[in-house]
Amino acid sequence: MSQRPAEPVSITVRIMGKEYTVACPESEHDTLIRSADHLNERMTTIRRRGKALGAEKIAVMAALNLTRELLENQGVDGQSVNEQAAAERVRQLRLDIDNTLSLEDR
């Protein structure tokens, strides 16, 4: 018998003083809360910077900033920059080992 996926449960988060009710699986509650807290911090920072911006404009600016950061941390084929650096380091180590072994064979 196959198991049915868990039913989403509603959770309320607060962003810039407003409450939003969001449905998500119970296993993702902690991640949703951390995400909402992070977004709230980013939006509040943008609002404090100065000009009187509406909530919609602040949300768009926060989304653009977060998306830029995400894209900067992604590399080729969706690998993170750290994964690419590690792969390059392994490749370089292999070349060094091959070169060392070929010198010993002489």
DSSP for the chain? -PPPPPPPEEEEEEETTEEEEEEE-GGGHHHHHHHHHHHHHHHHHHHHTSS---HHHHHHHHHHHHHHHHHHHB-GGG-BHHHHHHHHHHHHHHHHHHHHHHHHT-
Identify the band that residue 5 occupies on the pLDDT scale cut at 50, 70 and 90. Answer: low
pLDDT digits (tens, 9 = 90+) for 29-83: 999 999 999 999 999 999 998 777 898 999 999 999 999 888 887 765 666 667 7
Mean per-residue pLDDT, 16-23: 94
Domains of the chain by range and CATH?
1-54 (3.30.160.880)
pLDDT at 4 over 90: no
